[in-house]
Structure 1
Amino acid sequence: MLKIMSNKWIQLFFESKIPFCIHKLYKGDALIFKFYTNCKPLIIVFYGTVYIMKVFTNGESIFLAILTGNSLIDFSVNSFDSDYIYYKVVALENTYFIKFCWLDYITHFKYLSTLVKLLDLFRYTLQQYENSSYILSHKSTRYRVIQLLLFLCREFGILNNNYIIIPFEISQKTISYITGSNPITVNKVIRYLINRLLVKYIVKKRILICYSSFFSYSQDKTIT
């Protein structure tokens, strides 16, 4: 906890006297956000990893992005459909946020460098949204699941000899949410990849291991 509290963003907010609060999400937990008319909140993910879903009142949902540390969450731009949607931020691992109001930030910041740092977050976050969008660019569930695994390996994977470990739990239900696919179909895709000795899925720990053959397979299928 001391390491978290020494984070540069927290120090910056203390020094600038900008009102803020800290939230912690345990892995698997979620925060729900709707449009705010008074205080337009901004959220800095300064530790951990989350994925964001746009949820409609009819129960349908759309995957938006996977975000990690030094990302910015801003839901204040979509006021026109605020009565029909909300946003769900789900932690893939223990995650910490700084939540503050944009108006407070403008009112209290004293140094140009603080604004520049925030712009850096916007740029990095846009890049993560763009990278995440490739997951849904494929029509078939198989290719969406493969693209998701490639994304997770590239962004978070830990290299170990001839395979890469995705270092946090990711259930098949989570994979189905992110890829917008039926859980039964996702299960079939995972079994297919396992039978081809491309990945290994440790069910109890919900940990995925992608072998080097998986990346050769994805290149042969021109999935990039």
Structure 2
Amino acid sequence: MSNKWNQLFFESEIPFYIYKLNKGDSLIFKYQIKYKPLIIIFYGTVYVMKIFTNSESIFIAILTNKSVIDFNCLDSNYVYYKVVALENTYFIKFFCLDYSANYQYLLTSIKLLDLFRYTLKQYESSLYILMHKSIRYRVVQLLLLLCRDFGVLNKNYVFIPFELSQKTISYITGSNPITVNKVMHFLIKRLFIKYIVKNKILICYFSFFNYLRNNKIT
């Protein structure tokens, strides 16, 4: 945990807890009557799924450090949220009751408002993925989002710095692995993308972005 977050919470005298979620692990959030937590991601990347009792699921967002996970609006036993780590991720958890009793420390309030604004932007960006009816367009939109927000620039490609299996892509895009496999195979065949390191780390070539600028993926 960084000294910045340590100092902020110690000075505010708000009780807090630190958790680590290893890559591929998940947290489940269910309906609670009392003591609903607020969680801040201070390192790492996760994606959030909303899951119904009939096992249907909806992708909600990809969140990274400086994001807030707030499920205090969760008021039903018929759904729960699953937070899955794309890489090793660290959280700070505290409870709204503890925070509400400490308004005198205004700096904490300002920091949290900034985090909520940043999180809202991430939710809005994630929604663009599901706006498309076509699974191929959803996959392309996901790749563009990941390259923009997380990509590491190299000479002729953008490197996504965490594992992104086709199974994960299928969860996020609301498709099945077979359809996603066909889309990824199409993009690989066109030399737009490439998997490295046991088919889990993805790179997107600049030719991919140049093509999208002038053409539609069909």
Give the TM-score normalised by the residue count of structure 1: 0.93
Instruction: Could you list the structure 1 runs, at least 4 aligned residues long, displaced by more than 6 angstroms after superposition.
Output: none
Q: How does 1:40-51 map to 2 (within 5 A)?
A: 40-51=36-47
CA distance, structure 2, for counterparts of residue 19 and residue 141 of structure 1 = 44
The match for 2:113 among 106, 111, 119 is 119
Contact 2:27 2:82 in 1 (8 A): yes
- Helix, strand or coil for the counterpart of 1:152? helix
The match for 1:200 among 180, 194, 198 is 194
Aligned residue number for residue 6 of structure 2 = 10
The aligned amino acid for 1:53 is: M
Aligned residue number for residue 181 of structure 2 = 187
Aligned residue number for residue 63 of structure 2 = 67
CA distance, structure 2, for counterparts of residue 62 and residue 213 of structure 1 = 31
- Displacement after TM superposition at 1:118 (Å): 0.5
- Displacement after TM superposition at 1:20 (Å): 1.1
- Helix, strand or coil for the counterpart of 1:108? coil
The aligned amino acid for 1:192 is: F
CA distance, structure 2, for counterparts of residue 21 and residue 197 of structure 1 = 46
- Displacement after TM superposition at 1:169 (Å): 0.5
The aligned amino acid for 2:52 is: F
Moved more, 138-147 or 101-110: 101-110
What residue ranges of structure 1 are gaps of 5+ in the alignment? none
The match for 1:218 among 207, 212, 215 is 212
Are 2:100 and 1:106 aligned?
A: yes
- Displacement after TM superposition at 1:203 (Å): 5.8
CA distance, structure 1, for counterparts of residue 184 and residue 197 of structure 2 = 11
Kindly provide the CA deviation profile for residues 160-203 of structure 1, in whole angstroms up to 9, marking residues without a partner as x: 00100001001100000000011000000000000000000126
Aligned residue number for residue 155 of structure 1 = 149
Aligned residue number for residue 139 of structure 1 = 133
Contact 1:146 1:218 in 2 (8 A): no
Tell me the matched-pair count.
217
- Displacement after TM superposition at 1:61 (Å): 0.4
Residues 195 and 41 of structure 1, relative CA distance in 2, 3 Å threshold: same
What residue ranges of structure 2 are gaps of 5+ in the alignment? none
Residues 7 and 94 of structure 1, relative CA distance in 2, 3 Å threshold: farther
- Displacement after TM superposition at 1:205 (Å): 5.0
Are 2:22 and 1:34 aligned?
A: no
Kindly provide the CA deviation profile for residues 100-129 of structure 1, in whole angstroms up to 9, marking residues without a partner as x: 111101113532111011011110000000
Give the TM-score normalised by the residue count of structure 2: 0.96
The aligned amino acid for 1:94 is: N
Aligned residue number for residue 174 of structure 1 = 168
Kindly provide the CA deviation profile for residues 76-116 of structure 1, in whole angstroms up to 9, marking residues without a partner as x: 1131xx21100000000000001111110111353211101
CA distance, structure 2, for counterparts of residue 85 and residue 123 of structure 1 = 25
Are 2:163 and 1:165 aligned?
A: no
Contact 1:18 1:109 in 2 (8 A): no
Contact 1:45 1:68 in 2 (8 A): yes
RMSD value, Cα: 1.3
- Helix, strand or coil for the counterpart of 2:15? coil
